[in-house]
Amino acid sequence: MPVVLWISRQSLAVLERSLAVAWPEEGCALLLGGRQGRILHLQRIWPCRNVWRPNWPEMHQPRNPQGETEDLNLDDPHSRSDRFVVDPLELIAAQKYCRNQGTLLLGVAHSHPRGAPQPSAMDQRHAWPESLVWISAIAGPRSQLTERDRGAWWVGGSGRLQPVGIDILQTV
């Protein structure tokens, strides 16, 4: 399990700008880089569109024990201000890029507009196994973020999120 994430000051600025530009909606980005033992090295930020929409099927149709989806027909009170879905076309493009460059798709970053930089129940439920989750709490489009406004977690194979330290490097 990774215990620390290395990110350059430049990559951090790109990530936080790309998340802030979506405010008041949740912004999202894919995180690309490498892994050396228990160290993740974030090397590239892949900003993405948040394509979440009300009654997004994957969010409201859990599978029953037989593997069938259940139609819940819920009136969805949520919006992109508290939900996100990475554009699937951008995910495919990033996966192809990673294969061609010999790099890894480490995980996903997203923002919590006016919220805390802590994973919500929905974040935990939909996190990819064996991946990085980054959350930035963005109070406005020009927010100056501090260490307390961001967090990173590793999603283990069991789906449990473990905090990962963030080391901001001065050089690329």
What domains can you pick out in the chain, each with its CATH number? 1-52+99-172 (3.40.140.10)
Both tokens of residue 45? Answer: 């930020």
Residue type present at position 147: E
**What average pLDDT score do residues 147-153 get?**
96
Torsion angle of C-alpha atoms 105, 45, 91, 98, degrees rounded to 10: -40
Residue type present at position 169: L
pLDDT per residue over 23-47, tens digit each? 999 999 999 999 999 999 999 999 9
In angstroms, the CA 59 to CA 41 distance is 31
pLDDT per residue over 73-128, tens digit each? 455 677 877 789 999 999 999 999 999 999 999 999 999 998 899 999 889 988 99
| Local structure of residue 17 (DSSP, 8 states) | H
What is the predicted pLDDT for the residue at 75?
59
Strand segments (E) across the chain: 4-8, 28-36, 39-48, 104-113, 131-138, 150-155, 161-163, 165-169
**What average pLDDT score do residues 155-167 get?**
93
What is the predicted pLDDT for the residue at 63?
47
